[in-house]
Amino acid sequence: MIWARLLAGGPVNPQRLFGELKRRNVYRVAIAYGVVAWLLIQIATQVFPFFEIPSWCVRLVVLVIACAFPLALICAWAFELTPEGLKRTDEVAPAKSITRSTGRKLDFVIIAVLLLVIAVFAYQRFTSAHRASATSLDVPEKSIAVLPLENLSDDKENAFFADGLQDDILTSLAKIRDLKVISRTSVMGYRGNATPHLPAIGQALRVANVLEGSVRRERDRVLVNVKLIDARNDRQVWAERYERDLADVLTLQGELAREIATALRATLSPEEKARMETKPTNNPQAYVLYLQAREYQTRVSALLADLQTAEQIYEQALRVDPNFALAHARLSDTASRIHHWFQPTDAYKTKARLEAEKSLELQPDLGEGHVALALCFYWGAGDYNNALREFQAAARALPNNAEIGLYTASIARRQGRWSESLAAFRSAQELDPRNAQLALQIANLYLFLRDWPAAAQAWDRVVELQPGVLYPRRFRAYLDVLWKGDTTSSRSVLASLPSGVDAEGLITLERWNLSLIERDFDAAERAVAECRVDSIPAVSGPPLPKSFLEGCISLARGDAAGARTSLEAARSHFERELLAAPEDATRHAYMGLVDAYLGRNEEAIHEGRRATELKPESKDALDGAQIAGFLALIYARTGETEQALALIRRLLATPGAVDNFVESITLNDLRLRWEWDPLRNDPRFQKLIAGAEPATIHK
């Protein structure tokens, strides 16, 4: 026997050995084993994650298959399949051996399976190439979108925890410069059962890979399952299951980010590795509070109440852990938003600055801390150079943060660099293609340039991105008023709104505004009478009291005496607002406008000019132009016709002097609004509004 010769150390005839291996079908068994092993491994990698079987089980299957391979070859050599069953090869007479017949059957099986494998590979390659050509040829290989994690907790109130963990994973990945990471706002629309096919998501977001998964939290235990999918061919690249105590979750996002980066073959610098290994806090309670606050801060609605709730919860987190640098940065960010959009008081301005500086004192390389400080310079002080310096520092730590691009584009717009601003917004959109706020900024930029067709197309995109949100539909309809002088669409949209959706009075304000444009004073009165709040918060500027709206209706009717009582009450309101924020240009502008309505001409002009001093166009090309629009209206209402006409002519060709309220300077605003009636009989004004709209001049 050959094996006996080998064991005895005697000479072995190689030709006879290979011939015997062939006769006993050892080669065929090796090939068949390899094909079946490949099939089993494919099944394990695709099916195990579906049943939430840990990824180490896949590795165990591979290990068992590899260890069993030599055993399969030994069995093929030592045994033969006969009609009577399995027998030792040495016990089967050569004349009765059916190894040749068995070999032919193995050949057919191997050929059939190999053809199947070739067909599968060909299909995958064809569909992958087809999808790639159908989507884009320049989708980066190392690009990823982190989808919302499904909340599997029994307590559905823990949804904030799943969202927060997803946000942290995404943020950790976004710190890797070698990756392209889609921002949070673009992926949140894929939450829930309506999630489309993964290749469709990859196509929409222009990424090669998608991470999906689930979170289950039970008291202080957290179970996380994640899968990394190649969206081009719907193939799983990597999967893992983590079961941790809540305290250990603090390091989970960094660990996940490192494993995903490894799977995508991304290169990490030493600084990036260090940032991912840094825990945001050592206190689990503070971390959970942080996640709750973050959920309120990032709500699309961006209501004052949401921001104030986020502010309170961040403060709770900081009482638990005063050294939580990231929470200090987020609290600063929240305070800046409240100061910029709703309450421009010194208290919020100071709070934002102190919290930003504290975050950087605790963690000097914290990207979010540099963003927070940049916002203090940008929104709080109008110091664009220092703001840009801080945004650049933030971008080094957060290379995939689209929000930084949004802010720098906004600064370029305020500096009057309109074309550069548009290009920067478009660049930020590459990292956040479904961000409705970015799309809205692009739409507004076209609006400020009075490029009506482009603005309409861009606003249609905003509506598409936020089909369930009322504001984009309302403003897209109002665009027809500015562009064509047509109120039909706006009236139709407002009429279609259900009752009980106007908690803050913003829809009342739009109905009042549109009714006055249409000179339907009764409708304006009904809108104000049905309003359930005494003052309406503006997106920027002071809240508007109902007395201001009522006084304007009376004045538009020509009832100056009847308007006086309401306008005096409104003036007292604006006086209080000015005491709280004496350096706010918009508050001075409204005070000047009310004084003009009341016939206090000197005070009105003084306030209007003071507003332009606080917010000159040379310092802020956007808000400055709108403040100048207030001054033009004040001149018109106080009999300063020459100055009003000169300013109107200039503003008609100036970017930014466009809004959906009284200070807007477009031809259709001048034609339709009652506020400009004092100029209505002036031949120069009549000639101006009868002509074509002049081109808006910008660089």
Question: Can you give 403-463 as a three-state secondary structure string?
Answer: HHHHHHHHHHHHCCCHHHHHHHHHHHHHHCCCCHHHHHHHHHHHHHCCCHHHHHHHHHHHH
* Mean pLDDT in residue range 132-147: 72
DSSP summary character for residue 19: H
* Residue range 290-315: mean pLDDT, rounded: 90
CA neighbours within 13 Å on the CB side: how many for 685? 22
Predicted local distance difference test score (pLDDT) of residue 131:
47
pLDDT: which is higher, 190 or 540: 190
For residue 64, pLDDT beyond 50:
yes
Question: Is the pLDDT reported for residue 51 higher than 70?
Answer: no
The confidence score (pLDDT) of residue 125 equals: 58
- pLDDT digits 0-9 by tens, 411-442: 999 999 999 999 999 999 999 998 888 999 99
Q: Please report which helix (H) or strand (E) contains residue 635, including its range.
A: helix 623-637
- Token pair, residue 499, equals 């009752």
pLDDT (tens digit, 9 = 90+) per residue, 553-600?
A: 999 999 999 999 999 999 999 999 999 889 999 999 999 999 999 999
Percent of the chain with pLDDT over 70: 84
pLDDT of the residue at 470: 86
CA-nearest of 283, 340, 349 to 317 is 283
Query: pTM of the predicted model, to two decimals?
Result: 0.73
Report, as an integer, the average pLDDT of 141-146: 92
CA–CA separation, 658 and 448 (whole Å): 6
Gap between the Cα atoms of 365 and 342, Å rounded: 30
pLDDT at 241: 86
Render 329-358 in DSSP notation, one character per residue.
HHHHHHHHHHHHHT---HHHHHHHHHHHHH
Mean pLDDT of 92-107: 56
pLDDT at 191 over 50: yes
pLDDT tens, residue by residue, 660-673 = 899 999 999 999 99
